[in-house]
Amino acid sequence: MILAAESHGFLSPTGVEIVFLLTGLVTLGAAVITVTTRQLVHAALWLVVALGGLAVEYLLLTAEFVAWVQVLIYVGSVVVLLLFGLMLTRAPIGRSPDADSGNRWVALGVAGTAAVLLVTLVVDAFRTTWIDLDEPGGTTDLLGASVFRHWVLPFEALSVLLLAALVGAIVLSRKNGGAEAEPGAESEAGAGADSGAADRGGED
């Protein structure tokens, strides 16, 4: 087996490779802070850095479309939803020691195992692949063609999965019966915001 980097040499990194590595370090650091910080909202904001770092990595690999979608969906929507949820329930300024579930070591074990498995898998699968960055491989054209020709079945399966999640969310939110659901949800939201403000009042 010929390793991919052998033909190009291991010890002559190009500028892109160096930037890629550095961005990777920043992303990893932000991700670690996300799960270790004791300040809830800071965790969400560090998540923005981690997700943005990933987008930059995609960009460096010339997968432009994926990079922008990453920013649009994750930074623009998921994190905003996260922050919305935090602010609606409780988001005190400063530390929140009670936010610890006590599963620290189990979580570390699961994360470590998953990381080892994934890294082994990816290294094993792609160690003979070499991506030539001079010819763009991630343009919208190419990506659209491969998603809707080669991968159309997984794509449709995923959309069914998302539909199921959507239906599930609607069912969950209508637990109290159709007619009462709306006013009930509204007063709950109001109470959540109030208690959030009260929490912050306590902080002062």
Partner 1 sequence: MNDVLETLLTLVGVLVVFLLFPLLVGQTEHKVMAHMQGRVGPMYAGGFHGWAQLVADGVKFAQKEDVVPAGADRRVFQLAPAVALLPYLVVLVAIPFAPDGGVGQAIDAGIFFVLAVMGVGVLGSLMGGWASANKYSLLGGLRTAAQLLAYELPMLLAAASVAMAAGTVSLVGIVDGFEWWWLPWQLVGGVVFFTAGLAELQRPPFDAPVADSEIIFGAYTEYSGLRFALFLLAEYAGIVVLSALTAVLFLGGWHGPYADGLGWLWTLLKTGILAFGVIWLRVTYPRLREDQLQRFAWTTLIPLALAQIALTGIVKVVS
- Piece of 22-30, 68-76, 110-118, 123-131 that binds partner 1 (CB under 8 A): 68-76
Q: Does 140 bind partner 1 (CB under 8 A)?
A: yes
Q: Which is nearer to partner 1, 31 or 42 (CB)?
A: 42
- Piece of 18-26, 74-82, 103-111, 153-161 that binds partner 1 (CB under 8 A): 74-82
Binders in 29-48 for partner 1, by CB under 8 A? 41-42, 45, 48
Q: Does 162 bind partner 1 (CB under 8 A)?
A: no
Question: CA 129 to CA 63: how far, in whole Å?
Answer: 16
CB 67 within 8 A of CB 22: no
Q: Does 159 bind partner 1 (CB under 8 A)?
A: no
Tell me the residue length of the chain.
Answer: 204
Question: CA 98 to CA 163: how far, in whole Å?
Answer: 35
Q: Does 88 bind partner 1 (CB under 8 A)?
A: yes
User: Residue 126 Cβ, how far from partner 1 at the closest point, in Å?
Assistant: 24
Residues in contact with partner 1 by CB under 8 A are 41-42, 45, 48, 64-65, 68-69, 71-72, 75-77, 79-81, 83-84, 87-88, 91, 93-94, 136, 139-140, 193, 196-197, 200-201, 203-204
